[in-house]
Structure 1
Amino acid sequence: MEVTYKQISNIAMTLFFAVALNPEWSSNPIFWWGSVFLALGVYAATHHFSVPFRMTQFKTWFLLFFCVCLLSIPLAINRSNSLNTMKTLVVLIIILFVIDDEIQTDQDLEKYMQMYMVAVFVMMLYVVLNVDLNNFQLSQHGWADTGMWNGNDVGLKCAVFLIFSLHSFNLDRRVFRRFYLLVGSVLALVLLYFTASRKALLIAVFGIALYYYFKHPNKRFRNLLIIIFGIYAAFQLVMNVPELYEAIGWRIEGMLSLVSGKGTADSSALLRARYIQVGFDAFKKSPIIGYGVDNYRFINLRETGHFTYSHNNFVDILVGVGILGFFCYYSYYIKLVFDFLKLYLRRNTSMLLNTVAICFLCYFAMHIAVVSYNDILQNILILFFAKALVIQKSSNVTEELE
């Protein structure tokens, strides 16, 4: 009976992931709160309503950042908007704390990675069957509307799915599972093409390259040469094949023009640069406490006429909760990165840890162009990375004792 309850709990958590990753479903109060309470209710029943709770560094960090955000509300430009963000953070805290307690071994982490991947697979199928994919590219020019579906958001989830799939494909030899992974990877590549997300493409390209590099640790120089050649070849294809250029090449060209100052940057890149400048100007006027969590959009509305977030996690946090909140949030990122580097330089990392680290580091790099502190994908990656490090350290200690 215990096994049956556990299976039901896993299904309920997968259902929550599926709802959370689908903006149409998560915007429906019945679907959203139904999936939340179902996941928590089944989890509590599985543990006979005596739910375990272990304080960890992840929980401590998330609670501290939550408290900083909470303290910013009285000073917020719009308290209602801050409260809505806090509701999302509350749900993330509860769900992620449950997962944190459940993941104690590599097998547990693998299981939750698979549950997350199934949810992404469902999302990809839903998008392919229900959304006009051409509208993603037309929306880049302002010629179409994709409703609740943001091309960058869809692309980022697909990019992480691809990296996770590489690990799962090498780990699982079962024919059905490999077929599912291949179909999912094809869907992810199709959606990467149609969403034309620069951030997602960068994560996919560099994530796959890093996976290949980590997978063959004894042939690093050869791996590096192959990766450099592969990235160069991919760049040439994107910039010279008409179909690829029209989808994503022109956007890469615009991004490079903005960075180098040569050529003409596309309107999207220029607008995001403007958003960043607006954020830094606002931060200078209130550097310590900020303007309230998720309140950048009100400053942006006043300065640019666009009621939207900054498209930059660093800027959004600086403006929302000031330098104190910024330090509280990113200090944990830095700790995780240093912990990983210490293990990696000693060659004490598993391929599971390397895979999660790749996703975490690539997504971290994309903070210059995405707001993710209240996003489920970002927080799942932080949790997976933190748990993988704890498990690896414990495994290394056990091996030394033996």
Structure 2
Amino acid sequence: MKINLKTLSEYTLYIYIIALPYLAIVYPNIADVIFIGFILITTIIVIRRGIGRNVLYRTGAFIIVLLAITVITSMMADNKETAYSGSWTLIQLLVFDFFLMITIDSDKVIIGCLKSFVIGTYTMMLFVFAQTGVQLLSVLPTWRFGGGDGSINVNSIGAAAGWSVLILFLFYKQERKKIYLYLMLAPMLFVFGSASRASLLIVLFGICIYYLTNKQKASYVKLALVVFLLVLGYNIVESLNLFPDFISRFNQLLEIKNGIDSTDGSTRVRYQIVLYGIEKIKERPWLGYGLGQFQYIFQDEALAPHNTFIQIAYAFGLVGATWWYGNIALSAFRIFSRSNRHIFRWIAIINTVLVCMGISAQSLTDKTAHLFLILLFNADVLSRWKSNREGNNIDEIES
């Protein structure tokens, strides 16, 4: 029986993506093993297809250089374990990018990846519900499945599923009004909210825009619109209830430097972290505080940065935060533009800088939403870049 290695590679990728939400939380080592297996399969495809061996050699050399730089920067980090983990995750993204570009005809595969990830995400959610027995209403006040009882937090996974759905909407429908509304809302949520909550609101807002611009009457779109309004209303009410109390304690929050008041709610702690981060950013305004240092704002892991811009700027410097969001912005711009070559090169450069900085997994790349956001955006960039250049000769492809 003849095995089609290309098909095998695609299905391996789908299976990996379906299983990743579970593996990344429960069995991270197995996730790495499967990832390495995917690389081996795609390497065999490259060799069998005979696609420019120079491309393969350059890719390997590039990865080796990244690993060397990662080891050096990680050795200088405050939290070495976190540094290695974050760098390895970003290297995985880069390797995925290269092998998607070299081996796969991506239009079909990107949709397959999206569908696979949604399947895996919601399977994981069902698993957590069955495991913890958590009632649906407990999700709203805690924004996690299981709350504080030690159960698995799949908030970021839910947000990642939301991103996947939103990308599907934006992939097929590109009306300018919808894009403008989305781009206006996204920065606001990223600056003022946590990554998971922001991602959830962004996708619901995207569905809302989809409904308004396309005048769809499907029941699921109406339901999504209702859910969006309920979630938005909940956040507004919550903010209004906390606002007077926050004002009364504003001066006290400014004085807190170490530890937290155990009576404070999570929102108040968020403000405290932001205020403290602003102070630290002022100490090194040019390079940005935390560049290559991997410092926590507080030692308590529960208070690690929530991926808001100001918190990323504190942990990794203004430079690091700007590069991180610049990557997302360029990737999004690429999806809605006809320019290929230069945008792809800028994204590749940005990804390289992020890896060389050794950005921490604890604060950035362990967020499944962001990991897959970059993976899928860049997969789209690479697929279009590849398809537009396939008509040229092999030397140009390898350049």
Q: Give yes or no for TM over 0.5.
A: yes
Q: Which residue of 1 aligns with 2:186?
A: none
Instruction: Give the alignment partner of residue 385 of structure 1, picking from 336, 352, 377.
Output: 377
Q: Which residue of 1 aligns with 2:267?
A: 269
CA distance in structure 1 between the aligned counterparts of 2:368 and 2:33, rounded to whole angstroms: 17
Contact 2:305/2:312 (8 A) holds in 1: no
Q: Which residue of 2 aligns with 1:351?
A: none
Contact 1:163/1:211 (8 A) holds in 2: no
Q: Is 1:332 matched with 2:350? A: no
Alpha-carbon distance change, 284 to 66 in structure 1, aligned in 2, over 3 angstroms = farther
Q: Which residue of 2 aligns with 1:177?
A: none
Contact 1:14/1:115 (8 A) holds in 2: yes
1:311 Cα shift? 0.7
Q: Which residue of 2 aligns with 1:32?
A: 31
Instruction: Name the TM-score, length of structure 1 as normaliser.
Output: 0.60
Q: Which residue of 2 aligns with 1:185?
A: none
SS of the residue corresponding to residue 42 of structure 1 reads helix
Which region of structure 1 is more displaced relative to structure 2, 105-114 or 42-51?
42-51
SS of the residue corresponding to residue 22 of structure 1 reads helix
What pairs with 1:272-351 in structure 2 (closer than 5 Å)? 272-287=270-285, 288=287, 290-291=289-290, 295-297=294-296, 299-301=297-299, 308-340=303-335
Q: Which residue of 1 aligns with 2:117?
A: 116
Larger RCO, structures 1/2 (Cα 8 Å, 6+ apart): 2
Alpha-carbon distance change, 382 to 327 in structure 1, aligned in 2, over 3 angstroms = same
What pairs with 1:96-245 in structure 2 (closer than 5 Å)? 96-134=97-135, 136=139, 139=142, 144-145=147-148, 147=150, 149-163=152-166, 198-213=197-212, 216=214, 234=226, 238=230
Report Cα offsets for 1:49-92 as digits up to 9, x if no partner.
6676859xxx9x99999999776545533333322322322333
Amino acid aligned to 2:317: G
Q: Which residue of 1 aligns with 2:353?
A: none
> Root-mean-square deviation (CA), in Å?
5.0
Alpha-carbon distance change, 381 to 154 in structure 1, aligned in 2, over 3 angstroms = closer
Q: Which residue of 2 aligns with 1:353?
A: none
CA distance in structure 2 between the aligned counterparts of 1:4 and 1:290, rounded to whole angstroms: 50
Contact 2:17/2:117 (8 A) holds in 1: yes
1:17 Cα shift? 1.9
Amino acid aligned to 1:300: F
Contact 2:281/2:317 (8 A) holds in 1: yes
Alpha-carbon distance change, 145 to 48 in structure 1, aligned in 2, over 3 angstroms = same
Q: Which residue of 1 aligns with 2:96?
A: 95
Alpha-carbon distance change, 320 to 43 in structure 1, aligned in 2, over 3 angstroms = same
Instruction: Name the TM-score, length of structure 2 as normaliser.
Output: 0.60
SS of the residue corresponding to residue 290 of structure 1 reads coil
Contact 2:294/2:315 (8 A) holds in 1: yes
Q: Which residue of 2 aligns with 1:45?
A: 44
Report Cα offsets for 1:253-308 as digits up to 9, x if no partner.
224566xx5677992222222222222222222341533558342x323xxx5653
CA distance in structure 1 between the aligned counterparts of 2:225 and 2:237, rounded to whole angstroms: 16
SS of the residue corresponding to residue 300 of structure 1 reads coil
CA distance in structure 1 between the aligned counterparts of 2:145 and 2:124, rounded to whole angstroms: 24
Contact 2:165/2:203 (8 A) holds in 1: yes
Contact 2:290/2:314 (8 A) holds in 1: yes
1:156 Cα shift? 0.4
CA distance in structure 2 between the aligned counterparts of 1:110 and 1:143, rounded to whole angstroms: 31
Name structure 1 gaps, 5 residues minimum. Answer: 171-196, 217-221, 224-229, 239-243, 345-369
1:13 Cα shift? 1.7
SS of the residue corresponding to residue 45 of structure 1 reads helix
1:206 Cα shift? 0.6
Contact 1:293/1:320 (8 A) holds in 2: no
Amino acid aligned to 1:286: R
Amino acid aligned to 1:254: E
Q: Report sequence identity in percent.
A: 18
Which region of structure 1 is more displaced relative to structure 2, 43-52 or 329-338?
43-52
Contact 1:78/1:295 (8 A) holds in 2: yes
Contact 1:68/1:321 (8 A) holds in 2: no
SS of the residue corresponding to residue 303 of structure 2 reads coil
1:208 Cα shift? 0.7
1:310 Cα shift? 1.1
